[in-house]
């Protein structure tokens, strides 16, 4: 469990299904299209799956009333022939908040504590984020966390198809921060 001024980051429990349904019935961005839940039953199944994750996936919970307002996760990259043993110290986060709770600094508060956790307790050396070029809130969040913009991949990935069935490609911005660049939770 991770605690901040206004939030608790904790593992999911079965009772979180209604709250998860609220923010996953209409995913805000295409990259989360496959996470969409269509019914409360699907939300219950999604929560049961999440409840098994205790290290790298957290529900973002409002301290004042216990409501789950979103989630944040990042898993160590799998070793690959190119990256060898360095990969498990590299993480890429995913974050989403219920629309009603955006723009109040909760994402920054949660992400800052999560980065502290990854850098200080989980051996992270490098954290990088991919975000759509049009996703200004996510880009701003990366920048507020002190991440460097490393580049833009043009027409990098497609999550959805257009009316004719053709893939819709998105431009992806990559941000990153190294442990030695991280200023820590208290210095912002």
Ligand X SMILES: CC(C)(COP(=O)(O)OP(=O)(O)OC[C@H]1O[C@@H](n2cnc3c(N)ncnc32)[C@H](O)[C@@H]1OP(=O)(O)O)[C@@H](O)C(=O)NCCC(=O)NCCS
Q: Which residues of the chain form contacts with ligand X (CB under 6 A)?
A: 28-29, 31, 95-97, 102-108, 131, 135-138, 140-141, 144
Nearest CB to ligand X, comparing residues 123 and 149: 149
| Residue 14, CA atoms < 13 Å, CB-side half-sphere | 1
Output DSSP code: residue 85: G
Nearest CB to ligand X, comparing residues 45 and 136: 136
Which tokens belong to 18?
Answer: 């209604």
Q: Minimal distance in Å, beta carbon 2 to ligand X?
A: 16
Q: Minimal distance in Å, beta carbon 49 to ligand X?
A: 19
Integer distance in angstroms from the first to the last C-alpha of the chain?
Answer: 22
Nearest CB to ligand X, comparing residues 4 and 131: 131
Nearest CB to ligand X, comparing residues 36 and 104: 104
Q: Minimal distance in Å, beta carbon 90 to ligand X?
A: 17
Q: Minimal distance in Å, beta carbon 29 to ligand X?
A: 4
Q: Minimal distance in Å, beta carbon 153 to ligand X?
A: 13
List of residues 6+ apart from 158 with CB closer than 8 A? 167, 168, 169, 170
* Buried-state track 70-97, b at ≥16 Cβ within 10 A, e below 16: bbbbbebbeeeeeeeeeebbbbbbbbbb
Residue 107 CA to residue 139 CA, distance in Å, equals 12
Nearest CB to ligand X, comparing residues 17 and 107: 107
């Amino acid at each position: 469990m991770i605690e901040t001024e206004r939030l608790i980051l904790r593992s999911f429990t079965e009772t979180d299904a209604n709250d998860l349904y609220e923010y996953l019935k209409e995913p805000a961005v295409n990259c989360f299209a496959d996470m969409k839940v269509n019914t409360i039953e699907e939300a219950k199944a999604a929560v049961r799956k999440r409840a098994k994750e205790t290290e790298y996936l957290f529900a973002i919970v409002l301290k004042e009333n216990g409501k789950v307002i979103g989630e944040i996760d990042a898993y160590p990259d799998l070793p690959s022939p190119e990256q060898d043993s360095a990969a498990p110290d590299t993480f890429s986060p995913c974050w989403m908040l219920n629309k009603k709770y955006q723009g109040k600094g909760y994402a920054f508060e949660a992400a800052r504590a999560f980065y502290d956790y990854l850098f200080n307790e989980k051996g992270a050396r490098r954290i990088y984020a991919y975000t759509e070029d049009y996703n200004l809130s996510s880009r701003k969040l990366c920048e507020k966390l002190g991440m460097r913009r490393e580049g833009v991949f043009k027409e990098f990935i497609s999550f959805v198809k257009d009316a004719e069935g053709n893939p819709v490609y998105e431009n992806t911005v990559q941000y990153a921060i190294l442990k030695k660049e991280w200023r820590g939770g208290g210095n912002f």
